[in-house]
């Protein structure tokens, strides 16, 4: 803890100091949750060593970044999504990607900048990490965490398989909810927090066209065109809930709901629902087609909810959606982020490259 008289916030420890910083983001709950997660990981990592924020030095940051890439021991640090009150809760769901590690370091640099101004720590070690180095750590090509179109089409057909006539009301409810979740994710490319926060009246009609209103990162409001295939999914889900076919203005009730049909579905439960569905689908595909589809089964087992967003944007790009509209749907601040989804030319390039061989094709021999 800093020496008396130097501190400009009322805090009795690092956790309280971080809480003051997080309070600055109370108007942006999603940002606040993301920032709390990164700060908490750092505090826990330091706590394992019996250290505090003020002890952090530049030489520690490489070890911390390596820890983010592979939290060890796994049983102590990683696990499936659970409520924070659960004894099974863990700070990580798995190792962080290069992009996620970079984002964590950027967030923590902001935390330390604030703590320096507050007089809680004497310096900001993150500022000593050269920007060039952090960018190189984040080198990535195109997005690869998505389902190829043939695998997506199999998955969607599987989600639409007929239920047994003896299916229970709960099974029918869960099936309709699965269809809505996966269809919503594929057609509109939402983030998982945006899906769980969606309200019925976020789907609204303007000048004869349907739009989805979403509050995304940084509390930025956007309106996304609703594809025609989304409306039958909405109607079927609302019929399951005993509601009129399409949402009405002012209908502020949750879109996604728990089994009681009224309580909203939280981020963690939605994450588990999607992951469980992917695992169930992987087992079904393996049973159906055996070892011939082992790579596709492996991808389903690996997939997370964010894969659905990547899949949606990649398939839109492959379908020829213009970059400016793709960026608007994704709500990316930078076009170079969106271009990572442009796989559309790969097949044509591969076909043309195949014309180049060790022996010319179609030419007469000497």
When pLDDT is cut at 50, 70 and 90, the band that residue 132 belongs to is very low
User: What angle, 0 to 180 degrees and rounded to 10, lies between the N-to-C axes of helices 58-69 and 29-48?
Assistant: 110
pLDDT at 343: 58
Any idea what the CATH number is for the domain that residue 43 is in?
1.10.150.130
Low-confidence winner among 109-113, 290-294, 323-327, 344-348 (lowest mean pLDDT): 344-348
* Each residue's pLDDT tens digit, 190-201: 999 899 999 999
- How far is Cα 301 from Cα 297, in angstroms, rounded to an integer? 6
pLDDT at 136: 40
Does 58 have pLDDT greater than 50?
A: yes
Alpha carbon of 286 to those of 37, 290, 296: distances in Å? 36, 5, 9
Mean pLDDT of 157-180: 96
Q: In this model, does residue 60 exceed pLDDT 90? A: yes
**Is 6 within a domain?**
no
The pTM for the full model equals 0.66
131 shares a domain with 161:
no
3-state secondary structure of 131: helix
Specify whether 71 is located in the same domain as 171. no
- Geometric angle at alpha carbon 51, from 46 and 54, rounded to 5°: 100
Q: In the predicted model, is pLDDT for residue 143 greater than 80?
A: no
Name the token pair of 366: 């000497």
Check residues 340 and 204 and name the one with the higher pLDDT.
204
Of 79, 103, 137, the last residue of a domain is 137
Task: Please report which helix (H) or strand (E) contains residue 182, including its range.
Answer: helix 169-188
The predicted pLDDT at position 355 comes to 61
Question: How many structural domains comprise the chain?
Answer: 2
Chain-centre distance of CA 46, in angstroms?
A: 27
Residue 47 pLDDT > 80: yes
| Residue scoring higher pLDDT (133 or 94) | 94
Let me know if residue 26 belongs to a domain.
yes
Residue with tokens 């009246």: 201
Assess whether 194 and 318 both reside in one domain: yes
Tell me 264's DSSP state. B
* pLDDT of res. 135: 44
Q: 137, 160, 191: which is the final residue of a domain?
A: 137
The radius of gyration computed from the CA coordinates of the chain, to the nearest angstrom, equals: 24
Residue 1 within a domain: no
Q: What percent of the chain has pLDDT over 70?
A: 86
Examine the domain organization and report whether 101 and 171 are in the same domain. Answer: no
Question: What whole-number distance in Å separates Cα of residue 178 and Cα of residue 165?
Answer: 18
Question: Do 191 and 169 share a structural domain?
Answer: yes
Whether 279 and 223 share a structural domain: yes
Instruction: Note whether residue 187 is domain-resident.
Output: yes
Same domain assignment for residues 116 and 260: no
Q: What is the mean pLDDT of the chain?
A: 87
Buried b (16+ CB within 10 A) or exposed e, 231-241: eebbeebbebb
User: Structure tokens of 357?
Assistant: 């061989």
Residue with more model confidence, 279 or 343: 279
Does 44 share its domain with 124? yes
Q: Does residue 72 share a domain with residue 173?
A: no
Is pLDDT above 70 for 133? no
- Asked whether residue 307 is assigned to any structural domain, the reply reads yes
In-domain check, residue 363: no
Q: Domain range holding 104?
A: 14-137
Please report whether residue 171 resides in a domain: yes
Q: For residue 203, what are its two tokens?
A: 């789907």
CA dist 279 and 299 (Å) reads 10
Burial readout 24-41 (b: 16 or more C-beta within 10 A, e: otherwise)? eeeeeebbbebbbebbeb
CB 266 within 8 A of CB 196: yes
Give the tens place of pLDDT for each residue, 289-312: 988 999 999 999 999 998 999 899
Coil, helix or strand at residue 297: helix
358 falls within a domain: no
Output the pLDDT for position 186.
95
**pLDDT: which is higher, 156 or 345:** 156
Q: What is the pLDDT of residue 129?
A: 85
Half-sphere exposure of 75 (CA within 13 A, CB side): 0
Instruction: Give the end of a domain, one of 137, 166, 187.
Output: 137
204-262 pLDDT per residue, tens: 999 999 999 998 777 788 999 999 999 999 999 999 999 999 999 999 999 999 999 99
What is the average pLDDT across 166-194? 95
CA 299 to centroid of chain Cα atoms: 16
Residue 346 — very low, low, confident or very high, per pLDDT cuts 50/70/90? Answer: low
The reply to whether 49 and 198 lie within a common domain is no
Q: Can you give the pLDDT at residue 338?
A: 61
- CATH number, domain with residue 259: 1.10.443.10
What number of other Cβ atoms are within 10 A of residue 169's Cβ? 9
Task: Decide if pLDDT at 272 tops 80.
Answer: yes
Instruction: Answer whether residue 313 shows pLDDT above 80.
Output: yes
Same domain? For 174 and 83 the reply is: no
* pLDDT of the residue at 138: 47
CA distance 309 to 190: 6
Q: Are residues 129 and 165 in the same domain?
A: no
pLDDT tens per residue across span 68-84? 999 999 999 999 888 88
Those residues with Cβ within 8 angstroms of residue 166's Cβ, 6 or more apart along the chain or in another chain: none
User: CA–CA separation, 55 vs 47, rounded Å?
Assistant: 11
Structural contact between residues 147 and 269, judged by C-beta atoms closer than 8 angstroms: no
């Amino acid at each position: 803890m800093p020496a008396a008289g130097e501190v400009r916030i009322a805090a009795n420890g690092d956790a309280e100091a971080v809480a003051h910083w997080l309070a600055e983001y109370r108007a942006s709950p999603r940002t606040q949750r993301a920032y709390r997660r990164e700060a908490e990981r750092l505090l826990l990592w330091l706590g394992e060593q019996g250290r505090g924020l003020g002890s952090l030095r530049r030489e520690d940051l490489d070890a911390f970044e390596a820890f983010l890439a592979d939290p060890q021991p796994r049983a102590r640090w990683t696990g499936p999504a659970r409520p924070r009150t659960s004894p099974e809760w863990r700070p990580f769901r798995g190792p962080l990607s290069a992009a996620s590690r970079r984002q964590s370091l950027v967030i923590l640099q902001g935390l330390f900048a604030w703590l320096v101004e507050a007089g809680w720590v004497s310096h900001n070690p993150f500022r000593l990490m050269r920007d060039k180095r952090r960018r190189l750590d984040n080198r990535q090509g195109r997005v690869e965490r998505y389902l190829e179109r043939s695998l997506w089409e199999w998955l969607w057909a599987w989600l639409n398989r007929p239920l047994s006539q003896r299916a229970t009301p709960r099974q029918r409810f869960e099936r309709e909810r699965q269809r809505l979740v996966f269809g919503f994710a594929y057609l509109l490319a939402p983030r998982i927090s945006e899906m769980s926060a969606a309200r019925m009246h976020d789907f609204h009609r303007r000048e004869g066209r349907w739009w989805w209103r979403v509050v995304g990162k940084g509390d930025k409001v956007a309106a996304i065109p609703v594809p025609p295939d989304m409306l039958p999914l909405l109607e079927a889900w609302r019929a399951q809930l005993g509601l009129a076919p399409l949402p009405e203005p002012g209908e502020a009730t949750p879109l996604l709901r728990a089994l009681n049909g009224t309580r909203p579905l939280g981020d963690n439960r939605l994450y588990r629902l999607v992951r469980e569905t992917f695992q169930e689908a992987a087992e079904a595909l393996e049973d159906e087609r055996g070892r011939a589809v082992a790579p596709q089964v492996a991808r389903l087992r690996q997939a997370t909810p964010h894969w659905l967003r990547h899949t949606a944007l990649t398939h839109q790009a492959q379908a020829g959606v213009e970059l400016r509209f793709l960026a608007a749907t994704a709500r990316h601040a930078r076009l170079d982020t969106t271009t990572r989804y442009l796989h559309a030319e790969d097949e044509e390039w591969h076909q043309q490259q195949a014309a180049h061989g060790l022996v010319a094709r179609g030419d007469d021999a000497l």
